[in-house]
Structure 1
Amino acid sequence: MRRGQGRRIRGSRTLRLLTAAVVLALTAGTAAAAPALAAPTPHTQAPGVATVQRMDWLTDRRVALWIVSPSMSAPIQVQLLLARDWNTKPDAKFPALFLLDGLRAQENESGWTHDAGAEAFFAEKNVNVILPIGGQSSFYSDWLTKDNGVNYQWETFLTKELPPLLETQWRTTNVRGLAGLSMGGTSAMFLAARNPGFARYAASYSGFLSTTSIGMPQAISFAMGDAGGFDSEAMWGLPTNPAWAEHDPYLLADKLKNISLYVSSGSGMTGPYDQAMGIPGVSTNVAGMGLEILSRLTSQTFATKLNKLAIPAQINYRPSGTHSWPYWDFEMRQSWPQAATAIGTQIEKPLCGVGGAIGGTAAANQWLGDCLTGEYQIPGGIAQDFRSGRVFYSPVTGTYPVAGRIGGGYVAAGGPGGALGMPAGFELAAPDGKGRFQVFEHGISYWTPETGAHAVRGAVLEEWGRQGHERGALGYPTGDERKTPNKDGASQGFQIGTVFYSPATGAHSVQGLILGKYGQMGFEDSWLGFPTTSEASLKDFGKFNQFENGNLYWSPLSGAWAVHNGPFFDAYRSVGFENGKLGFPTSDEFDIPGGKQQNFQFGNITLIGGKADVR
């Protein structure tokens, strides 16, 4: 129950949601008298070892991880908003706050950063914010069976597989809070209840805090079908299945003792962030009205249960407001003091001053926002963190801000202590108008929306520059420079090819179908070795690359094939290469009785007894 709640929807959906709300209103007393859960099935699935498959730094303190979940047998994206003091205190660890998404969770970004202001809000908070990405209609639970081709085992992933990785690799403590909106609010409560000791804080913003009340299984089933075509029976079975009760916050309420609880919902009536329809109290977000009524009713029932159990909770019933993001953004901010107290971190950021060279640069770049830290020492100079970036100073390079995706790429490259060194210029628009770049002591970082941010340096940068930088044949970098695994060298990918470097051969590019053939052969580990020239043009639209131990030729009619240095290449040269009677090669060399042979467009070369013969 997420993005686009304000859009016009089908009338049948609206009618069913409002009908479910009315049914709940009429049967609220029955829901309150529901039988207690006698023996919930414990969550005891043995955790596997989660591993990071891919990492992408989006800014200097926001990173996307693709984590292979053993239970789900798939990579799951998790984004982290790193704590305020992440840079200033590199040995410190920080508590975690999990922010759970709604029913319409998307696969590319959390609603908390896409539709709410979580990134800017938490920039000054000393907590690692954990943002699971995806899980549409999942309720962040372990499903009974697969559905829509996915194997949802979110509870195992979030509570068993992910925490060890966060604690060992991302400086996160075992002090945790859970907060979520709509579906995520339901999940925050039952995950805290089902996993004793996992969370010290749980917050529900417009959550559905009874899953078994009359009409609720049907409402949930309909909503899941509408959000991605998921079947609630694959999740928890028929409504009579014990799994429904085992995930019901109302029935699990007694398991929430000693956890700081926050519960909020609107009334469904038109509020300050809604557009009125013209009927008093009715907004254009009709579906959001029905959903928020369901949330209010189940939240009230849940709060009553907590009160009977003498479990304290902060309850916030807004007099108006529908099921939509502006209200959840408000609740995220309003509930923070309670969350901070529960997980043991500061509510407000400490005072920080700005002065000297960094102060002048910050004043000239108002987009940086307010300071988050004081100045701190880094290799080669000093730095200071601001809400939207960092400013670096050294007496050698001067004072420059680094931010955004280039700032993330800078962290990925090792920051000021890495291969790039200190920034030596401002971020600028690239000459082609498509991307941006920033100069550093030992290289340049380039960014486009399609390729991300990647640094180019040293011999690779020189070769790329000779070819015209981003306006040349290679285009923008698509990856960082990587050491070749088995030989002394490096490679870096670009949009149209790859630059390979070794101390013996220098830096040269290989691209197109010649690169494809080179890859099939094993790149630099093949008998060809490293390239010794970049791609050159030949007649009839052909291309050519020279390597340490041979050559690769390509033409539209013949394809890409390698010619080994030695007798084959010498014979080919003797008849004028591709301009001679043989034309381009049409095969690699292959065995024949007594020797080897290689075919060309208009003949072949045979090698028998050490003697090459052109035919």
Structure 2
Amino acid sequence: MQWITDRRVALWVDSPAMGAPFQVQVMLARDWNAKPDARFPALYMLDGLRARDDESGWTIETDAANFYADKNVNVILPVGGQSSFYSDWLEPDNGKLYQLETFLTKELPPVLQNSLRTTDTRGVIGLSMGGTSAMFLAARNPGFFKFAGSFSGYLSTTSLGMPQALQYAMQDAGGYNVSKMWGPPSNPLWAAHDPYIQAENLKGTSLYISSGSGMAGPYDQVSGIPGVSTNYAGMGLEILSRLTSQSFATKLNKLGIPAQVNYRPSGTHSWPYWQFEMHQAWPQVANALGVETAAPACGVGGAIAPVANANPWLGGCVTGEYPVAGGVAQDFRNGRIFNSGATGTQVLTGMIGGEYQAMGGPAGPLGLPVTSELGTPDGRGRFNHFQAGSIYWTPQSGAHAVRGAIRDEWARQGWETGPLGYPVGDEINTPTKDGAVQGFEIGAMYWSPTTGANSVQGLIMQKYGQMGYENSWLGFPKASEQGPIRDGGRFSVFQNGNIYWSPLSGAWSIKNGPIFDAWGSQGYEGGRLGYPVGDERPIPGGTQQDFQFGNITLIGGNAQIH
């Protein structure tokens, strides 16, 4: 799980059905932080035919993140599934075996309930492909969703010409073959996934259906022909959605199944219209899921008020003040403000806020923030300092906490302007020895109880890695990299030996012991032997290490210089 912000997470959930992890992002409910014991209903939001593998179209193309910031639902965003129709496929295609109905209805819910305080009260909305899927998933899994909404969905998939239309669309969006999904049109799976045919199973589900007319609307660029948008493909797709939505709505009416149906007088198959429908559908979604339509009023006062007023980009508050370990906090649309007598009033936002949440927030090892977010002197990054550490962020490395002895040594070396640069990973325990390591742009910082915190970097770090890091005979570093020395070289001292590097000789290890002592008697790299040009190696009767201008042999415990 990766925290993107303090209220948005990315999960990679193992799917036994698909044999691979599948990413889901979750925008957490308004009261997630303020009410840590509360659980929240879920709203699944399904993407269109061209779903991307890095982020949902809903958060790329619409204001969904801001819109749901004050809503008390966990918004579930499957990421990926291009041309999948969120269904279980008969065969793999393009290297993927989609089994997304099983994933969304069987494999994902326990993860959401156990890890993200999500209840079994659920709704689903989708656009285009996702609108089709929202309706047949609700119909095929009666009772799983209390609400289903289709924005520009194709709601009659077996009617004349529709299988061929889907084949054309899926071939265009990723080169997928529709027959790998449900077989030929004669296969019963087509009917089993047709919202029109499965309509009777939607009794008891709150339904919302919308589509435009295909004519140019308020969010379209008009061509030279009156009423015709320059989005020609979007015109045709929306007309197809309108026709199938009308057939579907008529069937619902005959079955006596109520639905909110909106046939817009204009509009093409495009994101601005789906954002509009997302807003329009919310009161019905909220009613079906049992949450407030409008967020309760919240005020900003005390020490938090002047900081909030000085940072208008935070947006309005979405909660009141609530207690946290050591102080109080308040959530805003785009971040949080913390206050305590010991640390003052500080702002956290974005990925730094997410990393802080991942570390346990105020109750975690960092404690409360002691600064608001600041820019680094080089202009590349941002940071917050905390009572017991810091979090640094750059666009390239993301946000990572630095704390304890590793932070102290990193600070001594010059923070991000020192030889290591920015952190690129979180601190982790070394797997087989008592210690810790953290990766930076130009190396790593190691810590152990016996050696303290020391850095290894550059080509010396590369050599250390080739040898097995701290699990090699070298052990942990005892000092940070030192130099420059002769010919611009550098070296690092480890528990059981050293690594030396120079531009002419490369990086090589040398063990503590007779060979090292003999080399030292000649002045180390500054003496007549120069730098090592190889690691110690076996020879008949002993071992040998080669240097730029000679070698040292060790036979019978006797070191000889040549």
Query: Shift in Å at residue 394 of structure 1?
Result: 0.5
Q: 1:118 aligns with which of 59, 64, 68?
A: 64
Q: 2:132 aligns with which of 186, 193, 201?
A: 186
Q: What's 2:305 paired with?
A: 359
Q: What's 2:252 paired with?
A: 306
Alpha-carbon distance change, 69 to 568 in structure 1, aligned in 2, over 3 angstroms: farther
Distance in 2, matches of 1:599 and 1:211, equals: 75
Show the 5 A alignment for 1:512-523. 512-523=458-469
Does residue 548 (structure 1) correspond to residue 466 (structure 2)? The answer is no
Distance in 2, matches of 1:472 and 1:278, equals: 60
Query: Shift in Å at residue 72 of structure 1?
Result: 2.2
Query: Shift in Å at residue 556 of structure 1?
Result: 4.1
Q: What's 1:26 paired with?
A: none
TM-score by length of 1: 0.88
Q: What's 2:160 paired with?
A: 214
Q: 1:161 aligns with which of 90, 93, 107?
A: 107
Q: What's 2:508 paired with?
A: 561
Distance in 1, matches of 2:195 and 2:15, equals: 26
Query: Shift in Å at residue 60 of structure 1?
Result: 0.7
Query: Shift in Å at residue 523 of structure 1?
Result: 2.0
Q: What's 2:411 paired with?
A: 465
Q: What's 1:492 paired with?
A: 438
Q: What's 2:87 paired with?
A: 141
Alpha-carbon distance change, 560 to 316 in structure 1, aligned in 2, over 3 angstroms: same
Q: What's 1:336 paired with?
A: 282
Alpha-carbon distance change, 564 to 392 in structure 1, aligned in 2, over 3 angstroms: same
Distance in 2, matches of 1:421 and 1:98, equals: 34
Query: Shift in Å at residue 377 of structure 1?
Result: 0.8
Query: Shift in Å at residue 231 of structure 1?
Result: 1.7
Query: Shift in Å at residue 541 of structure 1?
Result: 4.0
Does residue 71 (structure 1) correspond to residue 17 (structure 2)? The answer is yes
Q: What's 2:351 paired with?
A: 405
Q: What's 1:33 paired with?
A: none
Does residue 586 (structure 1) correspond to residue 539 (structure 2)? The answer is no
Question: For structure 1, which segment, 600-609 or 181-190, has the greater mean C-alpha deviation from structure 2 after superposition?
Answer: 600-609
Q: What's 2:210 paired with?
A: 264
Question: For structure 1, which segment, 461-470 or 415-424, has the greater mean C-alpha deviation from structure 2 after superposition?
Answer: 461-470
Residue 584 of structure 1 aligns with an amino acid whose one-letter code is Y
Residue 557 of structure 2 aligns with an amino acid whose one-letter code is G
Q: Secondary structure at the match of 1:193?
A: helix
Q: List alignment gaps of at least 5 residues for structure 1.
A: 1-54
Distance in 1, matches of 2:41 and 2:559, equals: 72
Distance in 2, matches of 1:221 and 1:73, equals: 26
Query: Shift in Å at residue 513 of structure 1?
Result: 2.6
Q: What's 1:42 paired with?
A: none
The higher-RCO structure (CA 8 Å, 6+ apart) is 1
Q: What's 1:506 paired with?
A: 452
Cα deviation code 1:340-389 (max 9, x no counterpart): 12122221111222211112221222112211111111111111111111
Distance in 1, matches of 2:303 and 2:529, equals: 68
Q: 1:90 aligns with which of 36, 42, 46?
A: 36
Q: What's 1:389 paired with?
A: 335
Residue 482 of structure 1 aligns with an amino acid whose one-letter code is I
Distance in 2, matches of 1:532 and 1:124, equals: 51
Q: What's 1:5 paired with?
A: none
Q: Secondary structure at the match of 1:356?
A: coil
Distance in 2, matches of 1:446 and 1:249, equals: 49
Distance in 2, matches of 1:310 and 1:612, equals: 97
Alpha-carbon distance change, 576 to 71 in structure 1, aligned in 2, over 3 angstroms: farther
Distance in 2, matches of 1:197 and 1:526, equals: 58
Cα deviation code 1:523-549 (max 9, x no counterpart): 223221211122223333433111111
Distance in 1, matches of 2:143 and 2:516, equals: 71
Q: What's 2:53 paired with?
A: 107
Distance in 2, matches of 1:260 and 1:507, equals: 59
Q: Secondary structure at the match of 2:125?
A: strand
Distance in 1, matches of 2:231 and 2:143, equals: 39
Q: What's 1:284 paired with?
A: 230
User: Over the residues paired in the alignment, what is the CA RMSD in angstroms?
Assistant: 1.7
Q: What's 2:396 paired with?
A: 450
Query: Shift in Å at residue 587 of structure 1?
Result: 3.2
Q: What's 1:61 paired with?
A: 7
Question: For structure 1, which segment, 482-491 or 361-370, has the greater mean C-alpha deviation from structure 2 after superposition?
Answer: 482-491
Residue 381 of structure 1 aligns with an amino acid whose one-letter code is G
Query: Shift in Å at residue 607 of structure 1?
Result: 2.5
Stretches (4+) displaced over 6 A? none
Distance in 2, matches of 1:97 and 1:229, equals: 30
Distance in 2, matches of 1:559 and 1:162, equals: 51
Distance in 1, matches of 2:444 and 2:207, equals: 54
Cα deviation code 1:273-300 (max 9, x no counterpart): 1111131210111111101000011111
Distance in 2, matches of 1:559 and 1:137, equals: 51
Question: For structure 1, which segment, 536-545 or 445-454, has the greater mean C-alpha deviation from structure 2 after superposition?
Answer: 536-545
Distance in 1, matches of 2:202 and 2:485, equals: 74
Alpha-carbon distance change, 513 to 185 in structure 1, aligned in 2, over 3 angstroms: same
Distance in 1, matches of 2:470 and 2:276, equals: 56
Distance in 2, matches of 1:344 and 1:603, equals: 82
Question: For structure 1, which segment, 525-534 or 595-604, has the greater mean C-alpha deviation from structure 2 after superposition?
Answer: 595-604
Query: Shift in Å at residue 488 of structure 1?
Result: 3.0
Cα deviation code 1:433-465 (max 9, x no counterpart): 111122222222211111111122232222222
Cα deviation code 1:278-335 (max 9, x no counterpart): 3121011111110100001111111111112222211111111111111111111111
Q: 2:546 aligns with which of 590, 599, 604?
A: 599
Distance in 1, matches of 2:545 and 2:250, equals: 85
Alpha-carbon distance change, 217 to 539 in structure 1, aligned in 2, over 3 angstroms: farther
Cα deviation code 1:81-103 (max 9, x no counterpart): 00111111111111111101011
Q: 1:315 aligns with which of 253, 261, 274?
A: 261
Distance in 1, matches of 2:214 and 2:428, equals: 54
Distance in 2, matches of 1:480 and 1:247, equals: 45
Q: Secondary structure at the match of 1:179?
A: strand
Does residue 205 (structure 1) correspond to residue 151 (structure 2)? The answer is yes
Aligned residues: 561
Residue 363 of structure 1 aligns with an amino acid whose one-letter code is N
Q: 2:201 aligns with which of 245, 249, 255?
A: 255
Distance in 1, matches of 2:561 and 2:360, equals: 55
Q: Secondary structure at the match of 1:335?
A: helix
Distance in 1, matches of 2:463 and 2:13, equals: 32
Query: Shift in Å at residue 557 of structure 1?
Result: 4.5
